[in-house]
Structure 1
């Protein structure tokens, strides 16, 4: 299995409502994109996050599923929404478990 971790930093203009909408949309991907075993996302509450406000973990059945996830139209809609609401930076880590 593959674990995909994403941390996102937003502009100060990004609202909590927009972040909640991002989470709602992202969690729907489990029912849309093949190969997703589990998906979790939430707003950070720790003061150790260095400004990264939203965390995402996606567990895939294999590397092929991860490779298909990136260009999938439903995932690309999320990427577009992230840009629209003011994503400033992200950190992405993928590893095999």
Structure 2
């Protein structure tokens, strides 16, 4: 059974233009993992469109063929590098993995 991996990030920057730049860079880096990390079937990153300050700022929506592929993604060096960057710009993270 395939796995949808969804992660929400609240960005730490108080300034709107800095937060937008961080969101764009996170999107660029995360979407750059497609074709690099084996088993990553799809990945999109979208920014929040309403209720700023209440909602999370960006969402990652990705699909893997199974939990083993998701686990391999978590430790893949390219993902670790991106996750390290996001760790420097986020204040909160929430995630869920669902069968699809």
- Unmatched tracts of structure 2, length 5 or more: none
> How far off is 1:21 after superposition?
0.9
Q: 1:48 to 1:21 in 2, by over 3 A?
A: closer
Residue 49 of structure 1 and its aligned partner are, at CA, apart by 7.8
Q: Does 1:15 align with 2:19?
A: yes
**Aligned partner of 2:61 among 57, 78, 82:** 57
Aligned length: 96
2:53 and 2:46 map into 1 onto residues whose CA distance is: 13
**Which one of 52, 68, 73 corresponds to residue 72 of structure 2?**
68
2:95 equivalent to 1:92:
yes
1:15 positional shift: 2.8
Task: Structure 1 unaligned segments of length 5 or more: list them.
Answer: none
Matches within 5 A, 1:5-44: 5-11=6-12, 12-13=14-15, 14-44=18-48
Flag as ranges the 4+ runs of structure 1 deviating above 4 A: none
Match of 1:36, SS state, is coil
The answer as to 2:4 corresponding to 1:3 is: yes
* In 1: Cα distance, 2:65 partner to 2:46 partner: 22
How far the C-alpha of 1:53 sits from its partner, in A, is 0.3
